[in-house]
Amino acid sequence: MYNDFLNNINKFIKYLKNEKRYPETTITSYSKDLDNYYGFITAKKINYQNITKEEIRMYLKYLDELKYSKSTISRILSALRHFYSYLVTHNIVTTNEFKLIKNPKKDKKLPNFLQSDELDKIFSSIDTSTPLGLRNRLIIELLYATGLRVSEITNLKINDIDLSNREIKVYGKGGKERIVLFGDYAKKYLNEYLSTSRIELLNGQKSPYLLINHNGEELTSRGVEYIIDEIVKECALKHHISPHTLRHTFATDMLNNGADLKSVQELLGHSSLSTTQIYTHITNDRLRSVYLKSFPRTKEKVDKEN
């Protein structure tokens, strides 16, 4: 029974990769999550084809005892919902019990974002006189200009980019297609990279992908994370900055400069507006700070007078 279960996991992962075109980061996470689940059900001698709600609760308790975060548990449940839906479709199980299980309530955590001076410091620290330097500047420009996820930017292909209209066709989570826009700075570095650095990095090879590594191959998500880590070290910035930090910065700056929440939701590729609303907490905090500093009759100023 359990060998059959492993075969089904492998088939499911191939299905996500080849047919659903899930990002490599999601596929890697789902593989780990399903391996974790496999370990639990084999240890407890649970029949995966007839798992009960009580057994699922036992599994969730087990994850909680291991001190898994609520967001990780939610991701594991998402992986299992998708997996069991696949099993139902292929007549391996009759019902998907995981559809009835709710995610744990998330702790509200404000996203980390960059101040304008930090962003300027990052941009100015990159030496664009080398092929890799120019590519790295483009990566930062695009992540900030578009709010793309790291998996989305590494999956970009030349044919997805419309330079004249400054548009990019993006395939996000679940293969959902959307259009994102970019400004003059990103266009400038795109033009330079495509006409010089990318050709040098390919060194006679061919690739449909926009971002190329030093071997002339497609740049991976981990590669982008490493590049940003090195840039941050060079800048001597004190807090952790990831590709997602630039996505958060894009959303925050858009809202701070008057963009409506629905437009930002569409640009980010969020399926739910509630996901985008986390950024309103940041912008509201900023507005409060500006108000308290600027309005002549506030409690802070009264306290100082007294």
Residue 78 domain-assigned (yes or no):
yes
If asked whether residues 21 and 76 sit together in one domain, one would say: yes
Confidence of residue 302 (pLDDT cuts 50, 70, 90): very low
**145 and 230 inside one domain:** yes
Residue 217 counted as domain residue: yes
What are the tens digits of pLDDT across the range 249-276? 999 899 888 888 899 899 998 888 877 8
Position 92 in a domain: yes
Residues known to be catalytic: 149, 173, 244, 247, 270, 279
Whether 247 is in a domain gets the answer: yes
User: Which domain does 85 fall in, by range?
Assistant: 2-100
Task: Tell me, yes or no, whether 228 lies in a domain.
Answer: yes
> Residue 248 is part of a domain; what is its CATH number?
1.10.443.10
Q: Is 304 inside a domain boundary?
A: no
Rounded to whole angstroms, how far apart are CA atoms 32 and 76? 9
What lies within 8 Å, CB to CB, of 128 at 6+ separation is: 134, 137, 189, 192
In a domain, 302, yes or no: no
Provide the 10 A C-beta neighbour count for residue 8. 19
Q: How many domains does the chain have?
A: 2
**Residues 59 and 133 both lie in one domain:** no
Q: What percentage of the chain carries pLDDT values higher than 90?
A: 67
Residues 132 and 279 in one domain: yes
pLDDT tens column, 177-200: 999 999 999 999 999 999 999 999
**Rounded CA gap, 112 and 244, in Å?**
9
Reported as a single tens digit per residue, the pLDDT across 77-133 is: 999 999 999 999 999 999 999 998 988 877 666 678 898 999 999 999 999 999 999
